[in-house]
Structure formats: C-alpha cells, structure tokens
Amino acid sequence: MFVLGHLGFTLIGARLLAPALRRGASFPVGFLLVGALLPDLVDKPLGHVILPWDNGRLWAHTLLFTVLLAALAWGTASRRLGATSLGVGFHQLLDQIPWQDPGAWLWPLGSFPREVSAGVPDWWAALLTDPYLWTTETIGLLAVASLLVLPMLGWRPAWWRGPASDASAPGPVPVPVRPGAEGETDP
C-alpha cells in the first residue's frame, strides 16, 4: 500500500474505532497520520539508501516498534504518542505484515526482516497495473479528501476537535487514557 492508502485507511479505521474507545479523551489526527507513514519514513531510507539490504521493511515494521511506542505513550500519558502508535499499528496491518511475514513482525523473537523489496520503478509499475494498489490508493484519496473538503462544506463529524467555526482543522479521535491521567495534558 502507498501513501494515500495508508493515510485514508488509517482515518477510516480510526473513525470506526472511535465509538469503542473511551469518550472524552482525544488525540490529534495529525499524529495519527504521521504514525500511518512512520514505518516507511524510517525503514525505506534505511533499507534502500543507507544500508545495502534493499529492504523497505525493517525495525519500524515490527511489533516491537509499535509496542515500544504504545508503552511510551501510556507511560507518559501522551495522546500524541498514543495517536502515533495507533497509526503505526494501522500501517503494519495495512501492509499485511503480521500474516505475510510473521517472523519478521515478531522480531527479535522471529527472523530478522530480510525480504528484498521492489525499487521505485517497480512501485510505479505496480501502482498502474495492480488493481489492489490503485483501488486502495483511490479509496485513500477519497478518505483524505473528505477530511479536507467536507469541513469546508460545513460538515464536521463529532470526533473532530475544535470550534465549529474552525472547520479546516482536523481534530481528535477518542482514545483510552491511562488510569489517573485524566487531568494531564501534553505540553
């Protein structure tokens, strides 16, 4: 999955999860979207440019990375880190890593991620010829566009933050808060 697919499906997933999460607590959608791209922002430069492995799925595509981010978010009661870790989790699910390469996903308990991945020219060819990729990118584009366009038309879902007059600013998705941290806020 590419950028728009990761962003759009993460937004859709967060929207579907919102009713199940604790009401009253929230975190910024921007950090959720950063998390949706973070594994690729970390691993693609490392695996394709810096290291000689030609692999775009390294450490940030592991369960350990997600668990460490979530633990840090919980320990510091940071809604921003919580949103980021949720976005990373969505990214890994959307990349189908838990079932396509469970050993690498469970690293260090499993094998180190060593699968060679396609380079940039192959990505473009796949985007144009693979129905899964262009379908997910189109759906992602529609989801991201709705985040920007619908508020300008005056429609604002309840899970967005901010006063109704500030329709251009995406807002929070409800998230559980560590017990005793209800009154704490991020700096």
Give percent of the chain above pLDDT 90.
27
Report yes or no on 55 lying in a domain: yes
Domain interval for residue 42: 3-153
Average pLDDT over residues 49-56: 79
14 has a pLDDT exceeding 90: no
* Distance between CA atoms of residues 179 and 159, nearest Å: 22
- If 0-12 CB within 10 Å is exposed, 13-18 middle and 19+ buried, where does residue 20 land? exposed
Q: What is the pLDDT of residue 148?
A: 64
Q: Is this prediction's pTM over 0.95?
A: no
Query: Which has more pLDDT, 130 or 170?
Result: 130
Q: Residue 138 domain-assigned?
A: yes
180 within a domain of the structure (yes/no): no
State the pLDDT at residue 57. Answer: 80
Q: Is residue 159 part of a domain?
A: no
Q: Is 48 among the domain residues?
A: yes
Domain count, the chain: 1
Residue 45 belongs to some domain of the structure = yes
CA gap 69, 59 in Å, rounded? 12
Residue 97: inside a domain, yes or no? Answer: yes
Quick one: average pLDDT of 94-116?
77
Secondary structure (3-state) at 57:
coil
Residue 186 included in any domain: no
User: What does the pLDDT look like over 63-102, one tens digit per residue?
Assistant: 999 999 999 999 998 889 999 999 999 999 998 887 877 8
